[in-house]
Structure 1
């Protein structure tokens, strides 16, 4: 049944704790859409080309973002890389950088310089724990992770896009055991196993959930490059676990869109195999509400589970509390009001000078709209 009780609902502005804003023309195209999606605080991923491995580079990037949209708080991160040392962490903390993002080597966009051996970074993680910085984990093992040195393909653990997240969970548990006070986020989790693993860890471990993983299963991805992302959407039971986590009110789970724009030709097959990433930024909150409404209609969750309190926790409160400090600056100062069925997702988003086009998730579909109100 339609969630009519949400029509006209006023909520605190959302905090999107996992975004890709790119650089150059793509950055100029997508950054102005952040507030269209009901968001005024974002945690920015560092996988640019080259990746953000120094404090000056991260601060310069934040300045470019802030110049485009001064009414958004941009929380910045560094890319975990051999150039990152304990001294870098001290410098980053002093400069107001929030965390460090770990990418397994080769599993997603611009991750060629990613991690193969987490233990090699234990001195960095120890300093992050001392400095109270956040470690953001892309929770997948790369396909080569199960191969023995000098071995062949038969020695592999047969890691695929469907089990790479589950195979990573022992690494999550090991990191949490080694650094129990280190704030760790399992980013964009996609499986029931990941939800259970995060719940089993202590309060220093949380997870983000995207909007698109509340809609999709692997069947929606096969043959549709627009739905391809990393980690890929999984089984119906996994989607159900994510939906239930999103409306649980559990402080361990909060919104991170993983909005990841690519030029349209790289998503539609016109320029080779589709790139990994789904662009949801411009309707971030609306897509979450739409996903929950569809889940109620299909009786995957009950209408009673979708309450104002739980929406506030998932979209705004839990993430800000976990990050603390600067993430809470705008909380309560601005609100958004939801309206039913008054907006259609555009077919494409075009750079003002025509330099790039992006295809949004659920293009051409009607969705919720929202209005801003300043306190």
Structure 2
């Protein structure tokens, strides 16, 4: 097919392997937008306040999400915390919980209870390996404090620009020590991260967001609604991500990392909250980015095949997570038939969220 000439595409409903649905009013606002984006199955992040660290908390959270939108399949995770033990892992497996998400302490939203020392969790990872559970890694290290002494050693100072490459040795060492543990390097944002995943065995995969396929440094440096963690990097990194979508043969798949924040948290306070909200237009954003990639000759017209789209959006992620789309639903997408709202709001809900690329056109979604 000639992808850029298509005005309509029919695909399997998507599996989004990385979503933030929050809780309370924010969850009431954003959870109903999952299906609007062409998605019917999601892997839910556990970094609530307080974080989801027990099986009971996790199952109760899933029940709250189901009450808001029952037509979505919620695949659940626990937050890697000092209270997580091998016993908790065994209990989680029996309860149908799929994985555990690791956040380095302090690097992103609600990560203050995150990991300081990965070796501490080796017994947990060993049990996850036995139980065939997934370890999801936020692949960054904390930035060097601004008042730390300067040094000539270029590897000593960590900023948001090199926080992901600095984590890759830890990522590789975890895979080497636990070769049968299913590991996902989340929201890859650099060519180096892609290469690190490719260098690992078949138990390792990576997710790619919708927004990292479009953004570069200059975009978020001037727009708080494009600021996320990990930050978007160079044009070369963005283009490497686009090539990975069409050439990975299953090593990379969609994980939007859609992360809603109240609009006041993105503009109007002393610090900008990290997160880009893409849920209502998830599949459309990716299609738009691929079209632009073809236009820049980063990827070839023929590389954006139906097989690639079905794999990246649905098949590859479900295969890695070992989950099925029991409904076998399909969606029809139509080019530039949907206008992205300026602000997502809902009657009876006080919080409002500004989506990525507000006011622009993208693909509409119709469920078959």
Q: Given the two structures, how large is their TM-score scaled by the length of structure 1?
A: 0.94
Q: Is the 8 A contact 1:10 1:338 kept in 2?
A: yes
Residue in 2 that maps onto 1:317: 315
CA contact 2:4–2:301 (8 Å) conserved in 1: no
Question: Counterpart of 2:9?
Answer: 9
Once the two structures are TM-superposed, the CA of residue 249 in structure 1 deviates from its matched residue by 4.5
Q: Answer whether contact 1:249 1:310 (CA < 8 A) is retained.
A: no
Supply the distance in 1 between the matched residues of 2:24 and 2:244 (Cα, whole angstroms). Answer: 36
The structure 1 residue matched to 2:344, chosen from 338, 344, 349, is 349
Counterpart of 2:191 in structure 1 is: 192
Contact 2:29–2:349 under 8 Å retained in 1: no
Cα distance in structure 2, aligned partners of 1:187 and 1:22: 18
Q: 5 Å matches for 1:1-375?
A: 3-144=3-144, 154=151, 157-268=156-267, 270-324=268-322, 327-330=323-326, 333-373=328-368
What secondary structure, in the 3-state scheme, does the structure 2 residue paired with 1:60 have? helix
Residues 5, 328 of structure 1: alpha-carbon distance in 2 compared, 3 angstrom cutoff: farther
Change (3 A) 1:330 1:352: farther
Instruction: State the distance in 1 between where 2:365 and 2:196 align.
Output: 35
Specify the SS of the correspondent of 1:56. helix
2:144, 2:159 within 8 Å by CA — same for their partners in 1? no
Deviates more, 1:255-264 or 1:155-164: 155-164
Alpha-carbon deviation of 1:4?
4.5
- Aligned length in residues: 364
Shift of 1:152: 5.2
- Describe the SS at the equivalent of 1:101: strand
Give me the whole-angstrom Cα distance separating, in 2, the residues matched to 1:13 and 1:194. 27
Gaps of 5+ in 1: none
Per-residue Cα deviation, 1:331-358 (whole angstroms, up to 9, x for no partner): 6x10011111111000000132141000
Q: Give runs of ≥4 in structure 1 deviating > 4 Å.
A: 151-156
Contact persistence 2:332–2:365 (CA under 8 A): yes
The whole-number CA distance in structure 2 between the counterparts of 1:352 and 1:86 is 44
RMSD between aligned residues: 1.6
Partner SS state of residue 41, structure 2: strand
Which runs of 5 or more structure 2 residues have no equivalent in the other structure? Answer: none
For normalisation by structure 2, the TM-score amounts to 0.96
CA distance in 1, matches of 2:16, 2:202: 20
